[in-house]
Structure 1
């Protein structure tokens, strides 16, 4: 069709104008629906990445660690989309795609909220030594920042060990300060067996303290960056303090070490019957290494604190990431109480849980 053959319409002034090509509108419509599909796919992946087996893949692993931020992000997109839909509708147009985006994001935000609420978004009531019953075991895990830990952090950890009556203390990055922690505990009348694990650097070494009241323990082979002990007489529970390498924040970085060391922690849940595993696991409950845990359960989630962020401590707990955990074998223990507590001088919050034998 030549230029003179194109359809024309008359303007109010009687001038001839060319009608806008319908193809452009069709392309815009297709691109709009592609955007809807992309957002919907991202929403599904963010809600259940572990179910799809993608929680340890580049980019997705980093996003999975930020479930609270995903909640607020989808909620924000939903709000903006709803406002845009109202504006489009007020001009006499049908905001089909914008409404679809709003609905998808509302459902995604709601799903994230349900997951976090099921785990618990509260820091919990203080776990006190005075509330401990015969047979109870109180576990505390606190990342103390390695060689960056100062006197404030050491004193804070000691105070929380004593106030909670902790029997098991996991200190990821505790290698440089474990001696001072033990010295202060001893000076205050507490007796612990000390099991330090020396990592590749001062911030990788993990220390495990086990109260003398639990009986004699001995160290056995454990995961990289952690320490594992078993009772000498066979009566007490096996215990592991762990600290696999951190998840690289850059989604283009290699995740091999993070996956490998996380798998070593996961193996404990399959091979260490009736035990306790505590530490900075550098993974959330949505990552693969903490999804397949056999008979082990996240003690924090059992008492409503599992969704409260432990890192970084500079952010409110409802905006942080829960990467510090205590898991126990549900066949041997029932979780009685738990709390996420601040530890001045560190960039992590501590997790304290109390379990009772079944």
Structure 2
């Protein structure tokens, strides 16, 4: 057994480039686990810089100076962010408060409907089973409510952190865009000379992450906007709040669409009951989800490396458990990173220098 492990170790890590890649991965993971919360503003700034780098490069190609292009894009980004914050956040907050206030009424209506089941189906549903289920659910809801209240009080402490994001993040984004090549050269000088695999993985992940961030932001905006317009036209209550939730649900592949269906269906059922209006809304919502999965995603992520749905779900659960929201956001790029690392380790320097002679 030890000899098998020894042969595997010599085959994979006798190459200095492979050893350097392993050391870099271990160091990066340790930094994120130990100081992830501390350096989170830097990571957020890097995400925004990735998003804005594409239009900056387009402006530079037509002859605009990089510093001026970065300034224009930063002003445009801040203006859009302020417009969303002033126009969208108050509406979402107000509708969230109204929905929370009406939640007891929705729950009471749901209980009244469930209590009618023993009369309609006496052979299948017993009244004592209904009461036991209701008691258990009420206890769980009380616990969830206490957790939400404690979380809301603790979030007041994060006001200082919000100010840090609002002031420091835009500054870091501007400097990351303006002095991009300076930072890349500095990082390159810090890396060891044995970096063939590091460079290979870096080039692949750079394209993947840039494509993923741009595509995911565009997908959120399109799906969220179409959902808001559809819900408003169909006169659904809390239309803006539910539309925003549908837009954000695309962050979590497969799972997000299933989870956000619950509040949409509950609000629609509370508003209309099991009526044609309810089914019209659910049909429209299903069309939005189908167009997103079968048309929008293939168009936006055509350059992304395809991953099996099971790997994506495992990546969402694993990285989301580690780093919360940002772990979910970067679940697919991180899964792609794992795949790129495995591919790089599986290749050997001889295979790259001397490709198969039988290949056309």
TM-score range, shorter chain: under 0.3
More strand, by proportion: 1
What is the TM-score normalised by the length of structure 1?
0.22
What is the TM-score normalised by the length of structure 2?
0.22
